Structure 1
Amino acid sequence: MRPSGRVHLGNYLGALANWVKLQDTLDCFYFVADWHALTDDLDTSDVAANAVEMVADWLGAGLDPERSTLFIQSLVPEHAELHLLFSMTTPVAWLERVPTYRERIEQQHLESPSYGLLGYPLLQSADILMYKPRWVPVGIDQAPHVELTREVARRFNHTFGELFPEPEVKLTEIPKVPGTDGRKMSKSYNNTIDLADTAEAIIKKVRPMVTDPARKRRTDPGNPDICPVFDLHKIFTPTVDREACATGCRTAGIGCLDCKDVLLKHMLPPLTAIRERRQKFAEKPAAIVEILHEGSRRARKVAQATMQGVRAAVRLTP
């Protein structure tokens, strides 16, 4: 995950909650993608502080450094070496066809995109294959990146020998998580509910949320199927209360504020628990840094073993 700031509800439900579950049964590696962050912004003044804040969110959400390896990408330089070697066997056309590369060029109106932007999916492949995983947990939008990684492994293995397994996609079911303005929750839209938000802050964000635009008056019936608030009900509210809200909305039996209050009743307890755990870690940033450095040492041992085999297969040095 890139250290772009605090983790919001969309990040948590889209990735982090699943990471927490996976650590119970698998040997997991999760890292701060600080090199990847440079493809968005070359101003690094906030990267280190953002990394600490982000990992505080991870720990608050339930990631356990005793059960998962949490590390910083740039503290494992073997990732860069493997990326370089992969760049020698990977056709440029493979990278140019990655959907997110084309989207970023169009969205940011880039006339001269950097090699880092073109090559970041290949660095991502190095990030993955370094640890020879069986599965990569991703949402459907990231599946093309894992397919590219499989192709990269296949080509490299064909050239230098069977070094890397081809990892399988472990699809994560990602619920629709709207922001407070009804659009996709995103830092760039300034519409997020953050894991670090207090109960008061969450209430202030949820109560003014947009709802069914056709429901202008309390007496107007609404349609929960097109209401962003109801998307959050699907995540937090038990079936009985959720169906009661849906019926009340369609019949104008309840108002939008009543519906939001039901949501907050079920939404606040789990988010408050995360925030309180998070706060305990955030008060000790030096301890978070030590967790990351210890995790980076553990990750590097694995990476060094991988690269020892890669160097032997590539046979560059006498």
Structure 2
Amino acid sequence: MTTLSDSFAAARERSDDLAAEVAAQPGRFRVLTGERPTGRLHLGHYFGTIRERVRLQGLGVDLWVILADYQVITDRDTLGRVRENVVNAVLDYAAAGIDTSRATVFTHSAVPALHQLMLPFLSLVTEAELHRNPTVKTELAASGRALSGLMLTYPVHQAADILFCKGDLVPVGKDQLPHLELTRVIARRFNERFGQVFPEPRALLTSTPEIPGLDGRKMSKSYGNAISLSMTADETAALIRRAPTDADRRITFDPDARPGVSALLTTAALCLGSDEVTLADKLGDGGGSALKKLATDAVNDFFAAHRARREELAADPDFAIGLVREGNRRAGEIAERTLDEVRAAMGTVY
């Protein structure tokens, strides 16, 4: 019987082989990645995904980034600020080092041909397969109420996001492997039923670090525990100053017993390229004030250039929206081309 650990080991081996292929011939690959624009991007986004996008693009991979504004419809609290969130995300992408002249950055809602793929794709999956998706299961457990049709079909929407541009490389963490597997299933079933149109995208496993918020919980804007990339040095210092620690002056790394102290150590370690235990040993009996100073200085030094570049870009009010409009145009052209191939394969050209 195949265990979960066996499955992951096999996925890791395939990912290592893929990484070698990418390094040897990066121009062969198109990566599709992105996020829901529900708020300002923070350290979790930077160390979890943005830095990897910059690396892949630097190798020569064709980078496509989707800002999934249609998926924000499920979050009524942030829908009213979606345009602002899109603009801020684009500024952070460019400031982080993504070459926006080569990347295609686009919004969900502006590419109608992408969404037309949903109907044939929905015909290829069962309701049971949708309910097995980790995001759908988590949402159902958290909400305690019936899922909307949009949330239930989220895995198919994600497949359309990847396949409309024939993305064949998707950076994922371990927990996201089931998401990509359903996309591969949809591509395979379409090709078997109608003829070869779509690649089966492959997973590039990323060693995304666990990045807690400043209180030890998951980093989230809703918890007020996230350091946004767009914060000033003073705002960062004020936020870290309010972070919870404890009365023990001896600094140790223990995420379970000392979540606040440990979260600050992780934040500093990421920015300093160190590890939490080494930093804790150096701080010794310095207490919370010394730890907070270390974390503040580490974050502010690491992101100083990012913030300066971001401020420079933000001075041009047309930069972000202009870039998104060009990305939308490019994505629209590719989506129409793919949809034409789908219609031809299905025999629905009139």
Q: In structure 2, what is the equivalent of residue 64 of structure 1?
A: 99
Map 1:260-299 onto structure 2 (within 5 A).
Answer: 260-299=292-331
Which residue identity is paired with 1:127?
D
- Is the contact between residue 117 and residue 339 of structure 2 (CA under 8 Å) also seen in structure 1? yes
Deviations along 1:4-51, one digit per CA (max 9) or x if unpaired, are: 121111111111111121111200110211111112238743222221
Identity among equivalent pairs (%): 38
Partner of residue 51, structure 1 = 86
Q: Aligned equivalents of 1:315 and 1:283: distance in 2?
A: 50
Matched residue SS, 1:310? helix
Alignment: residue pair count:
309
Aligned amino acid, residue 95 of structure 1: L
- Cα deviations by residue, 1:137-159 (Å, 9 ceiling, x for unpaired): 12222221101101111111111
Which consecutive residues of structure 2, in runs of 5 or more, have no partner in the other structure? Answer: 1-34, 256-261
Which of 55, 63, 79 pairs up with 2:114? 79
Structure 1 stretches of at least 4 aligned residues deviating more than 6 Å after TM superposition: none
1:244-259 matches, cutoff 5 A:
245-249=279-283, 251-252=284-285, 254-259=286-291
For residues 143-222 of structure 1, what are the structure 2 equivalents within 5 Å?
Answer: 143-211=177-245, 213=246, 216-218=247-249, 221-222=250-251
| Contact 2:267-2:295 within 8 A present in 1 as well | yes
Per the alignment, residue 49 of structure 2 pairs with 15
Return the TM-score normalized by structure 1.
0.91
Question: CA offsets per residue over residues 258-308 of structure 1, 9 Å max, x none?
Answer: 123223333212212212211222232322111111111112222222111
TM-score, length basis structure 2: 0.83
**Is the alpha carbon distance of 1:256 and 1:248 closer, same or farther for their aligned partners in structure 2, counting shifts above 3 Å?**
farther
The answer for the alignment partner of 2:19 in structure 1 is: none
- Offset at 1:105? 1.4
User: What RMSD in Å do the two structures reach over aligned CA positions?
Assistant: 2.0
Q: Matched residues in 2 for 1:283 and 1:90: separation?
A: 47
Aligned AA for 1:263? A
Closer/same/farther in 2, CA of residues 208 and 129 from structure 1, 3 Å limit: same
Matches of residues 82-121 of structure 1 in structure 2 within 5 Å? 82-110=117-145, 112-121=146-155
CA contact (8 A) 1:57 1:196 kept: yes
The one of 3, 10, 26 equivalent to 2:61 is 26
Which structure has more RCO (C-alpha within 8 Å, separation ≥ 6)? 1
For the Cα contact (< 8 Å) 1:232–1:263, is it kept in 2?
yes
Cα distance in 2, alignment partners of residues 247 and 114 from structure 1:
50
2:336 is equivalent to residue 307 of structure 1 = no
Which residue identity does 2:138 align to in structure 1? E
Aligned equivalents of 1:43, 1:236: Cα separation in 2: 29
Alpha carbons of structure 1 residues 178 and 43: separation in structure 2 relative to 1, 3 Å:
closer
